[in-house]
Structure 1
Amino acid sequence: MRYEDICVKAIHQLKDDRQLNFAEYSAKLLGNVLRKNGIAQQADIITSVPMHRSKRRKRGYDQAQKLAHFTAAELGIKENYRLLGRTKDTAEQHTLTASERKTHAEEIYFSLPDHADIKGKNVLLFDDVYTTGSTLNVCSGLLKNMGAKNVFCAAIATTLLDEKHKE
């Protein structure tokens, strides 16, 4: 979906108001797209871009993880959310330019030291909103360095790049 109008409202409700209906609905739509494109049949593990634990405690859950969870249930794919970590930080990605997003993502995401062995596995990586690709690119690189054979990325919404997000 495009990250505009009703989609923006639904994602904000998912993030801030604990409205999981959108995540469940989105999982069905995304599940169909992933099956149609042959990705569902290839994925061995589903994971998500991690939220820092302090923010997760405050919100009650990680919305990208919820999207991944409902999609995993829809597709019957194993989940693992103990692959990647995130350092605590104060900058919100949506406030940064494209080049700032890339640097920021490289600084805050890391492989968990006690992660499961994913060597040779195909990983489906989730985020809620795709803007510049910085977050998914950095996290995909980490998963590949951990041994993943392929990393497929999915997000329920994408922004239209505006002047603020261009280099």
Structure 2
Amino acid sequence: MPLLSSPLRWPGSLLRALLPCSCVLCGATGDAPVCPACAHAHTRELRPRCPCCANPVGPQDSGRRCGACLADSPAFDATVIACDYADPVDRLVLQLKFGARLALAPWMARRLRDAILACEGLALPDLLCPVPLGPRRLVERGYNQALELARPLSGALGIALAPRLLVRQLETAAQSGVAPGERRRNVRGAFAVADDAQTLAGRHVGVVDDVMTSGHTLDELAGVLKRAGAARVTNLVFARTPPP
């Protein structure tokens, strides 16, 4: 009997049959972490959005910057989201971020890819980078959920990934636990471009994250990137917290 020279390769359909997934939202058995019915019901983006911050706007303002962005323009130029951060989608983000359900990241990246490609006239970035975690939080969690999302998104869009472009030089409190009026101050000076980073002069950078709430973290990052020479910064975020 000849010796096996390579590991046994199981057909994908057989593996899915032997190791089925359960939908995170409804529990239905299938071959994806979120079943097609739940994906259709909860992660389709249909409302007009401000092209800068991705907050909802009225139909008559579709494609225009909202009043908040006109009054106080952020450092970033555009934001694309896949869906709202609201029940039950918030469970997906929490399972990825705190539950180590890393299988959700490629699924979320596909939803985000579809949203990006559906934006008419949107210029794709030259490179992608994830929002960085501080060393202490990275050790506690064991992974950076933004990087887990950025990896498959990079492959899906064919855009180079720069996973160490940005560093978090200050350990800050989680924005979710900081009063809204203090969030801008909480992240001020927290980020920097890595000393050995590639040149950003004239480049378009896509910043990838799982959720966007106030936008102060992404605004701070965009400012850092532009001071380093970036010409344009686009946020690519799976879910956006609706305004109160």
Scaled by the length of structure 1, what TM-score is found?
0.88
Root mean square deviation of aligned Cα? 1.6
CA contact (8 A) 1:52 1:88 kept: yes
Where does structure 2 lack aligned partners over 5 or more consecutive residues? 1-82
Aligned positions, number:
161
**2:174 maps to amino acid:** E
Structure 1 runs of 4+ aligned residues shifted over 6 Å read: none
Instruction: Work out whether 1:117 is the aligned partner of 2:184.
Output: no
Between Structure 1 and Structure 2, which shows a larger proportion of helix residues? Answer: 1
The answer for the alignment partner of 2:128 in structure 1 is 46
The answer for the alignment partner of 2:168 in structure 1 is 86
Match of 2:229 among 141, 147, 153: 147
The answer for the alignment partner of 2:219 in structure 1 is 137
List per-residue Cα deviations over 1:17-67 (Å, max 9, x = no partner). 21122211111111111122244x531100011101222122221001111
C-alpha deviation, 1:107, in angstroms = 3.2
1:1-167 correspondence to structure 2 within 5 Å: 1-37=83-119, 38-39=121-122, 41-89=123-171, 91-162=173-244
Moved more, 14-23 or 83-92: 83-92
Secondary structure (helix, strand or coil) at the match of 2:84 reads coil
1:102–1:26 distance in 2 versus 1, CA, 3 Å? same
List per-residue Cα deviations over 1:51-86 (Å, max 9, x = no partner). 012221222210011111111111111000222111
Whose relative contact order is higher, 1 or 2, with alpha carbons under 8 Å and at least 6 apart?
Answer: 1
Choose 1 or 2 for highest CA Rg.
2
Secondary structure (helix, strand or coil) at the match of 2:188 reads helix
Of all paired residues, the percent bearing the same amino acid is 31
Moved more, 123-132 or 13-22: 13-22
